[in-house]
Amino acid sequence: MLSTTHDRHVDLASLIDGLGDDDLRWTPCAEAPALAGLVLHILDVEGHLAAMAVGEDDHWTAENGSHILDSATLEDLHGAIDDVDDRVRTAFASLDDARLDSPVPDGHRLVEALLEDLDHCALHHGQAQLTRNMWEAAHPDAPRTYEHWR
């Protein structure tokens, strides 16, 4: 879990590199989220998972699509990626079998809750990759700076 989550953070940073603030707000269609919102949503979910892993109540509301329509600057997104990466690394490194097997408020075991939401994040990560590829297709003169898993 830890290495895959860290790899996702490295890739999220690569996905947004080379883009201006307007580019981070670009969407392929009216109902689709922009890259900035996708990154913020993923980080919101992962931040909650870090809190859950260490037994903190972060008062997360689990709203459908939290922050997915929000925006942020490139600098703010990079800072948020680094912050959540540090929090997840610390929280997940502290997990042991007993903690993973412990129940969480919804009645599932912690390991089940973590894997379910990490899968959710992976889905949106793929959506972010597609959005970046569609942005590049819509801007053929822009330099191609993103390469998956450099």
Is residue 48 situated within a structural domain? yes
Question: What are the CB-based long-range contacts (under 8 Å, 24+) for 73-81?
Answer: 73/21, 73/24, 74/16, 74/17, 74/19, 74/20, 74/21, 74/24, 77/16, 77/24, 77/36, 77/39, 77/40, 78/13, 78/16, 80/39, 80/40, 80/43, 81/9, 81/12, 81/13, 81/39, 81/43
In a domain, 146, yes or no: no
* CATH number of the domain residue 79 falls in: 1.20.120.450
pLDDT in tens, 75-98: 999 999 999 999 999 999 999 999
Task: Give the range of the structural domain holding residue 110, as residue numbers without chain letter.
Answer: 2-138
The pLDDT tens digits for 58-75 are: 787 777 778 998 999 999
Q: How many independent structural domains does the chain possess? A: 1
Report the chain's mean pLDDT, rounded to a whole number: 92
Is there a domain that residue 143 lies in?
no
Asked if residue 149 is part of any domain, the answer here is no
In a domain, 94, yes or no: yes
